Each structure stands twice: as structure tokens, then as C-alpha cells.
Amino acid sequence: MIKINNLRKSYDQNVVLNSMNIEIRQGTIFGLIGINGSGKSTLLRLISGVIQPDEGCIEINGQLLTDSLEERNHIFYLPDNPAHGQFTTFEHLFELYNVFYSMNRTVFNEVLELFNLESNLELSKCSKGMKRQGYIALAFATEAKYLLLDEAFDGLDPVSRLKFSKYLMKSFDEEKIIIISSHSLRELEDICDSFGIIDRGHFKTYGNITDAVSKVIKYRIIASDIEKPVLKNKEDFIHSKRDGRVVTAYLNNQKDIKGLILEENILAVDQLDMTFEEYFMIQEATKL
């Protein structure tokens, strides 16, 4: 388990993370979400031990991260844009990481083959997507118990994203924790069971993805006239937006839409499927 207690981190006068608390249990694929500059990468670097917090602490299986060298050796952090030398190949990186991890050659070759990559390929000659594919192969080959992937889908084309997602799900076991930060919420919804949204330096909300999405009901309401209102009180709804005669409204699942709308001004009301991306967008729109 990863436990974060009252974590605070600032750079000069800029407070990035403040009073952050969360527990992430074994057997979890956790989606780390937030707008640019929200502190996602800083949090991953703190969990990896690359940087230290100003206040608070991180525990790994009940031991302080700073005190537990054994647990730190089970953490692998893949940054958004890893540095490499001009003539570095994926094979060079495999040998380098093999100093710190018990690298699995079979897994490494298997993932490279999945992406049609050669281990002797120089990274300086690779596209952004090819580099990301190679680093994903290295990440899986470490067989780390705690895998921290920053912007995991960045640079990957749709086919590569699907291959990566399928391989991750196939190789995952209940002893691992995988934390993935990404702006691609559609992919996160497919592979993550839990999530946390960082806003203003702390987790604005977190929990099970399915449970969170199910708490909001999405409606499409067709007004009889472009000028006629359809909601009795906008405050009854989590969020609403109007485009001509079409109103999209989001309602807490504990409420019944009957009695909250002006039925005499409405032609149709349909309940639509909610996505995790929409859940995030209304969280940002409302800033609850």
C-alpha cells in the first residue's frame, strides 16, 4: 500500500502540492488526473523518491519511503520525457536498468516485438511515439511492484495505445500498484479501477471510477422553443449547458428529474450514458 500523509511541496514561492492525503492499495491501477501544472508529475517524483517533500511523508507498506531501501527498489518511475544520450539504444538502457532491477529479458523482447521495435535502435533516431513504446517495454521488464507512468499514452497512436492497454491488463497482478497520469481519460476509464483528481495542490476527489460516474446522471432535454426555459432552477443540477433548443443537464443520482423541469416547455427528455471524461469536465466546470 502507498500512503500519503499531509504532503506538501513547493518550488520557491509556488506551492504545488499542499495537505495531500490518500491511500492506494495493492491490486490497483490508479488514474492520476489534473490540468497542466496541477502537480501530477511532482507527486510521481515524490513517490519515486526522486525528490523529497517539504512536509509530510510517504509510506510504502507501512514503512517510510525515506527509510525503506528495499521497497524503493521495487518502484519504477517513467517520466514524461526521459533523458538519453545521443547514441543510446534500448539495449543500452536495458543493461543500465539491469544494474538496479532484475530485468526480465523475455518481457522486454515481447513488448518490443509488440510495437515492432528493435533493441539496437538508437533513441535519437526514433519518433516520440517510438521512444515511448521502447520505454514502456523497459518499464514492464523491470517487473516493479510499483509502476509510476507519467503521461503514459503521450505520443502513442491509437493502435499503440490499444496494444499498451491490453498488455498492461494482461500482465497486471494483485501484488502491484500502477499509477498512470494522462490527459487521455478515455483510455484511463478502460484500464483504471480508481482515480484521483488533483486541483489546487490536493485531491479534489478520488475513488472508484465506476462508482463516481454512476453518481451523476446525464440528460438531454429538447425544448419546445428556443426561448423557453426547461429547468426550474439550475441550482438543482450539478451542471447544465444549452445549445439552442437542446439542454444537456447533469443531476445527482439521488434526485429525480421529475419536478425539476418545466414539462410544459419540453418535447423530449432522454437519459444518456455518462463517461469518465465528462465526469472530469463537469468537475472542472463547477470547481466544487
162 and 250 inside one domain: no
Domain boundary among 179, 206, 233: 206
pLDDT at 288: 47
264 and 246 inside one domain: yes
Say which CATH number the domain at 221 has: 3.30.70
160 and 219 inside one domain: no
10 and 51 inside one domain: yes
Say which CATH number the domain at 8 has: 3.40.50.300
Mean pLDDT (the chain, rounded): 91
Average pLDDT over residues 155-176: 92
Q: Please check the confidence at residue 182 and state whether its pLDDT lies above 90.
A: no
pLDDT at 68: 66
Domain boundary among 155, 179, 206: 206
For the chain, the domain total comes to 2
Higher pLDDT, 220 or 83: 220
pLDDT range class, residue 83, cuts 50, 70, 90? confident
Average pLDDT over residues 71-88: 85
Name the percent of the chain lying above pLDDT 70: 98
Range of the domain at 235: 215-286
**Per-residue model confidence as pLDDT tens digits over 4-45:** 999 999 998 889 999 899 999 999 999 999 888 889 999 999
> Which amino acid type is present at position 16?
V
pLDDT at 283: 81
CA nearest neighbour of 32 among 209, 217, 210: 209
221 and 165 inside one domain: no
**Per-residue model confidence as pLDDT tens digits over 111-160:** 999 999 999 999 989 999 999 999 999 999 999 999 999 998 988 999 99
What is the 3-class SS of the chain, one letter each residue? CEEEEEEEEEECCEEEEEEEEEEECCCEEEEEECCCCCCHHHHHHHHHCCCCCCEEEEEECCEECCCCHHHHCCEEEECCCCCCCCCCEHHHHHHHHCCCCCCCHHHHHHHHHHCCCCCCCEHHHCCHHHHHHHHHHHHHHHCCCEEEEECCCCCCCHHHHHHHHHHHHHHCCCCCEEEEECCCHHHHHHHCCEEEEEECCEEEEEEEHHHHHHCEEEEEEEECCCCCCCECCHHHCCEEEEECCEEEEEEECCCCCCCCECHHHEEEEEEECCCHHHHHHHHHHHCC
Q: Which of 26-40, 58-72, 77-91 has the highest mean pLDDT?
A: 26-40
Give the list of residues 6+ apart from residue 229 with CB closer than 8 angstroms, or none: 223, 262, 265
125 and 263 inside one domain: no
Domain boundary among 172, 206, 240: 206
